[in-house]
Amino acid sequence: MMTIGIVIAGIGLGQIFHASAILLPMTIGVVLTNLIEESYEKRLTKNTDLFSAPILLGFFTLAGAELDLHVLRLIGLIGIIYIVVRVIGKVLGSYLSARALKAPPTVVKYLGFTLIPQAGVAIDMALTAELRFAAMPGFEVIGSEIMTIVLAATVIYEVFGLIVVKSALTRAGEIDAGKVGWDKT
């Protein structure tokens, strides 16, 4: 009950301060996880897992309902550029950062590929942009285009990105490490 109360209070504060509908609950989760005992956290996670699937299903169904395929045809090139540049940015940025931090070679080589999938936060940000542009006369179409690009890219990232992530984790030896333990010595 305490967790539900905190989430509802957080949503209320988020509405007052126009905070993100996704980032605020994530922040509440981070705070709760770091403030409560580990045994209570495991029970809480086990209980919330029981009802989180229908909530996520509803969220992504409503988000998918925003995907306007007619607009997608008009902005296809921009969408392709967005997808390609985002992947290059993730792979190159993580590669350079991992090298600068002298991370293990498998991290340097494969981390960027594990960052390809996107979902909730990107959709929330696109929804926020769509709502903000809808309130600006003459700019309504920009919000709709942003939402369409992000939703279409999310579908692509989630389908192909998960395949790439599994391949990268397998090549890095991390999937097998989870089965036999992290210490291979």
**pLDDT tens track for 1-45:** 666 777 778 778 777 887 766 677 778 778 877 887 877 777 777
Token pair of 88, please?
């290059």
Between 72 and 179, where is the model more confident?
A: 72
Q: How confident is the model at residue 185 (pLDDT cuts 50, 70, 90)?
A: very low
Q: Which residue has the tokens 């705070």?
A: 31
pLDDT at 171: 86
Token pair of 54, please?
């229908």
- Residue 79 predicted with pLDDT over 80: yes
- Residue 85 predicted with pLDDT over 90: yes
- pTM score: 0.62
Three-class SS state of 63? helix
139: nearest Cα among 129, 149, 151, 126: 129
The DSSP code for 21 is T
**Given CA atoms 59, 61, 65, 71 in this order, what sign does their dihedral have?**
positive
**pLDDT tens track for 131-182:** 889 889 988 888 888 888 888 888 888 778 888 888 888 888 887 655 555 4
* String of DSSP letters for 98-132: HHHTT--HHHHHHHHHHT----HHHHHHHHHHHHH
